[in-house]
Each structure stands twice: as C-alpha cells, then as structure tokens.
Amino acid sequence: MSANEDVSFPEIREAVRRLCAGFPGEYWRALDAERAYPTEFVRTLTEAGFLSVLIPEEFGGSGLGLGAATAILEEIHRSGCNGGACHAQMYTMGTLLKHGSPAQKAAYLPKIATGELRLQAFGVTEPTSGTDTTRLRTFARRDGDDYIVSGQKIWISRAEHSDLMVLLVRTTPREECAKPSDGMSVLLVDMREAVGNGLTIRPIRTMINHATTELFFDDLRVPASNLLGQEGKGFRYILDGMNAERILIASECIGDGRFFIDRASAYARERSVFGRPIGQNQGIQFPIARAYVQLTAAAGMVRDAAAMFDAGKPCGTEANMAKMLASEASWYAADMCIQTHGGFGFAEEYDVERKFRETRLYQVAPISTNLILSHVGTHVLGLPKSF
C-alpha cells in the first residue's frame, strides 16, 4: 500500500481483505457464467457485520459513519470481489433510518442487521422518465388502510433477492402540485407478500451480473403503515439516499481502480518480452503511473464527500463530483490494465475482463456523467439549464 492511499479504518480494511480472500476469482467467474446471485458471499458479509455498519448500535449495527462504509466497499472491489449484490442495503437503509417511524425502525432494522431481512431493492427509475425522477408515473392511490400501486419500474437490481424494497411513487398527480418534486411518497414494500399479488418481476439480462429486473405493479396493495415519513415529501427523502449512494459507488470505483493498477503493475514487473520486463518500457509504465495519479486524486474527493456527509453538511455537489471523478479514474485504469495485459486481458482466468465490464457501468449508473456535468454547470456555476 502506497503512502498516498487511504489508511482510515485499518482494522476494517484488513478484516474485509481476509473475508474476500475466501471468494477468489474462480467463485465470481462461476457466478458470472450462470448469472447467479452470490448468496454465500452476501451471507458471509452479513454475518461479519459489514452490511450493518451504518445501523445504530441500538438496532444491532455498528453505528459507524459513511466513511467506514466506503472503506468496506473499496476493499471488496480491490480484492476482485463485487459489492453490487448488496451495496444497496447500506444506502437504502438510510431512508428507513432517517425517515421511518420509531415503530418501523424497531420492526425492521434489527432484522436487517442480522440478515433475517434483506433490504437491497431501490425502486425509482422508470422506462419513460429515466433519471428525471419528477416525471415518474407509478402511482399509489389511497384506499382505506392501503395504498394501491400501479405502474412500472426498470433497472431495479436485486429485486428477486430482497425481502424489502424502498419504492418511490406518486401520491398526487404532477399537474396538481405546486412544484414538480412535490406529491411523491416512499413506501416500504414487503416483496415476500407482493410478488404474485400485484407485483411481477421480469429479469433483464445485461453485460454484468447485477440481477437487474423490470417491475410491473398491477393494483398492488401496500399497507398505509408502510409509508416512510410524510406523504408527498418522498422526493427529498430519496435525495438523501442518493448522496450516500453516489459516495458509496465512488468508493467501489476507487477499489476497482486499485485492482486494475495492482494487477497491471504486477504483470508489468513479471512479464518479460525481448529479454526484459515490459514495465521497463515507458509505453507501459507511464499509463500505469497516470492511472495511479488520477485515482489518488479521485480518492481524495471521495474522502471529502464522505466526511461532509457524516458531518451532516450539504454534499450533493461533492457526492456527484466524487462519483464522476472516481468512475472516470477507474475506467481509465481498466482500459490501461487491458492494454498492459494484451491478449491475456481478454482471458476470463485473469479476471480483468470481468472487472472491466463491471466498472464500465459507473459511467452510466446510478447517474450519468452528463447529468453530473449539468448539475455542476447549473447549480454551481449558475449557467442556464440546457435542453
């Protein structure tokens, strides 16, 4: 580990590395081939307490901040593993923790901490609205003690492997609201009861193994007692979670980038062509060094954003910038690693091509680079909104 690398939470980082050593490349390659869910990996993380790190101690968690969570996810990805199967539990849980009632917290958080319940599905994106959340159409109509939900969601990962889902819906039509962001509410959906009773899940096969699905709601009844916070205030609740999401995803990108740099550096030292290691050639050495420089700068932005979040400071811009810088640094490192390995970079046994596919996602999700640039341009620099 270089002197410029993050040394915060050393005990947590070491423990995560030891855990991940039990899940080598062979484990992930087998899952990738079958598009299978890493049940054993998620269970081991849960039992070790890593997925409950943000849950307060009174509910069975560690009560630590987002900085600790970023350390966990970074080390998972640096080790060649992938946190995509379970990372949502960290940021999705925050919606329940911040906006749930005392009764809801007591009912759900202890079971989420032990793994008895999985809260890993986050239902926001829709086919017709994409990232323009204010235009979502999934509607929840109040009917006595229930909400009746109709609509559609897409690009929802882990829905088939979650017991609970945080779902953003409209409870007041957009045209009847003073602001486009008004009139949205958050429901906590019990997937065990919903599937087959108004909820249909359709898997979407993608280039990465993230258990991605499309959801169809056909008069699904959700108890009104499952409303998180106040009706009509859900957009703000979701934004809170999105800041955490972007910072945590950025930390995964940092881990991916370190994976690529570690692998490329080792290969460049060991691989000999024309009687000398290829790392002696500047055409190989300089791109690895550049990847390290870019990743180090991005990691600093991620640390700053996490510290602001933990201090309770507004950090929407910093969370977005951290995600953008980290995703671009990891993507550069991925491309560099493939180039360093040459043909071997495309061989599955090296795990480079798998991680290459995985880290490409973060140029697009959970928010695209262009939308981040638009946010900075209009909200930070005061430029007119572009269309």
DSSP-H helix ranges across the chain: 10-21, 25-34, 39-47, 66-78, 88-99, 102-114, 191-194, 234-270, 282-310, 316-341, 352-360, 369-375
DSSP-H helix ranges across 137-233: 191-194
Contact 121, 164 (CB under 8 A): yes
Residues forming the active site:
245
Other CB atoms within 10 A of residue 84 CB:
23
Structure tokens at 320: 């977005």
- 9 three-state secondary structure: coil
Contact 52, 113 (CB under 8 A): yes
Q: Which helix (H) or strand (E) holds 212?
A: strand 212-223
Structure tokens at 371: 């939308």
User: Would you state the torsion angle of the CA atoms of residues 277, 278, 279, 281, taken in this order, to the nearest 10 degrees?
Assistant: 120
User: Would you state the torsion angle of the CA atoms of residues 158, 159, 161, 164, taken in this order, to the nearest 10 degrees?
Assistant: 120
Q: Report the chain's C-alpha Rg in angstroms.
A: 21
Closest C-alpha among 74, 56, 60, 162 to residue 117? 162
Please state, in angstroms and as integers, the Cα–Cα distance from residue 375 to each residue in 171, 250, 291, 322, 358, following that order: 27, 17, 26, 13, 25
Contact 336, 287 (CB under 8 A): yes
